[in-house]
Structure 1
Amino acid sequence: MSLSLTVVTHTNSRHPRDASACLASVQAALTERCRHVVIPLDTDLDGFIAARYAAMQLDEVVAFVDDDDTIAPDALRLCLAALEGNSLGVAFTDCMVQCTDGIARQGLACPTYNELLRYPAAMHHLVAVRSEYVTARSLALAQQHGCGIEWIMKAEAALTQGAVHIPYIGYYYVKHPQQEQLSGQTEVRQRFVKAVKPIGTELKAWARFEGAIVDYHPDL
């Protein structure tokens, strides 16, 4: 039986962006087993945490694509192929970080399960997550600390059911200069910094997998 995948893009009317490139890239990557859902949000962080968790219930496999980012044409097909015929919780691609000042660099792929315990952006790529392996404890942990829902959900599925890395640049993440300027100043950022260690400790207690994350080598 073939898996189905929903790409979720949350938009925010208080911080509107041109989502045309995002929409076009996802449309070009859709297969017959994929769909794209755009969900407008106008809420605070607590509402965002709940919305991100709720979106995970939309399909067998869910992947988030932010409205100013794009994905590669084969990214969704490869993620589904990597999850077929096994019980793995996560398949993720490589990522290219594109700064709006013109600089681009390839993001580092998450090499081990241990990285997921200490580095929230370890899987900041196109990440396809089997929704059945994301439970209410992810929501509770994120709500307890007021942050981290996407990291926690990805980590729960990967640490409990295993993950596979696809050596293919599937996600293009746009980084704005103001993100660097504000990264250490916002209340949310400061809260996240304080929460990383206790969240990582809790995730470690959930983990069934450790060591290196294996690669999936499809016929590209």
Structure 2
Amino acid sequence: MNSLRIMLTILAFGIISNASLANEARKYDFKVLLDDREIGHHRFVVSEHNNETRILSEARFDVKFWFITAYTYLHTSQEVWQGGCLQSIEASTDDNGDDLFVRGESSNQSLKLQTHDGVQPLHGCIRTFAYWNPSLLENTKLLNAQTGILETVTFKLIGESRISVRGQPVTALHYQILNPKFSIDLWYSGNSEWLALESTTESGARLRYLAL
């Protein structure tokens, strides 16, 4: 179950998109599957306010064996972005009974970040795991919005592939995020619309996001 925690920690925070360029709020709804069993959902609302992009995120996962809930994950997050950089974040997580929080505010060209471990300044242009916009993933470090840790990552293009999106076959660009602890596969349309996500836990379980 620890391997599942690692993956859900990372997957919960990719929440800014090319779709946010529109003035109206955009809503996105994904069902989450673990080894083809539906375990929950992840919903996003992306909106523009003046020069800011605001993101609301809500996720709930319940892993059950027969009629017993073995693992529960609840997460809510609010982020404000400007110029492709994170300006503020307010996130709270119930990780199977462990309560966590991440709060951050831009100040003096840094992001003042507060977590359960204390307060620290993060310098430069900070980004979370922004799956919705592949150009924002081209960083060597991305912020884990559950733990407040800057994860070292490599983002690379794998190539074109055919996948099913809402029951229809489409041609997509396949990318991968690599870290010593995990890897995440992402698929995008030709205009950089996020289409799918998949990862594998340390125990070999297949974790997927499917658009509704």
TM-score by length of 1: 0.28
User: Which structure is higher in RCO with an 8 Å CA cutoff and minimum separation 6?
Assistant: 1
Task: Report which of the two has the higher share of helix.
Answer: 1
Task: Report which of the two has the higher share of strand.
Answer: 2
TM-score by length of 2: 0.29
